Amino acid sequence: MGRKRSKAGKHICLCIAILIFLSPVACSLSNTMATKPVDSTGDEARTHLATGRVFLAQGEYGNALKENEKALSLAGKGVPGDEALFYAGLIYAHPANKARNYEKSLGSFRRLIGEYPTSPLLEQAKTIAGLIQENDRLDRATDKLNKTIDEQKKTVEKLNNIIDELKKVDIDVEQKKREQAK
């Protein structure tokens, strides 16, 4: 009943305690080691950009976007991050892209404008962002006008129905006048 613990049991308990204690440290180290290094020269990022432009020219927008995202992650805040954001914006806004997303496109251009104020692509990004915003404003105005037109069509239809009913009443009145005149 009251046997002494063996030394092996003590060592197992000690090992488990050490593992529990060190597990958060191991997790943080694995997260630190998993992050990609930034491409300081920009060469690898430029390679992904070039591949992305080829995909864009071939109409493979999803692949082009992936390549630009790789270039952006490699570039970090450095070169050629502005170019990666610019092309991402173009891909998202491309008229032939079935998955086009003007919000994401505008987000890419705004990010370029905010994070790369000295970029040679700055004015182009501002211009395209402005065009996207203006297009959005015009789309909303068009939707509003189309709703007004639909309401006006319904009103015209109701008025035409009233006119048809009044014509029937006029015909009935004329018929009664003829019958009385006989």
* Residues 71 and 109: beta-carbon distance below 8 Å: no
Q: Which of 140, 142, 120, 138 is nearest to 130 (CA)?
A: 138
At 99 the three-state DSSP class reads: coil
DSSP 97: -
Which of 101, 65, 55, 103 lies closest to 85 in space, CA to CA? 65
Give the C-alpha separation, 26 to 20, whole Å.
10
Residue-wise DSSP of 36-96: PPP-SS-HHHHHHHHHHHHHHHTT-HHHHHHHHHHHHHHHTTSTTHHHHHHHHHHHHH-TT
Task: Please check whether residue 72 is in contact with residue 81, taking contact to mean a CB–CB distance below 8 angstroms.
Answer: yes
Q: Report which DSSP code applies to 117.
A: T
Q: Do residues 86 and 121 lie in contact, with contact meaning Cβ atoms separated by under 8 Å?
A: yes
User: Does the global pTM surpass 0.85?
Assistant: no
pLDDT along the chain (182 residues), means of 10: 56 60 55 49 87 95 95 86 94 95 96 94 95 94 95 94 91 88 77
At a CB cut-off of 8 Å and minimum separation 6, what does 40 contact? Answer: 78
Fold of 43-137: 1.25.40
Look at residue 34 in the predicted model and tell me its pLDDT: 45
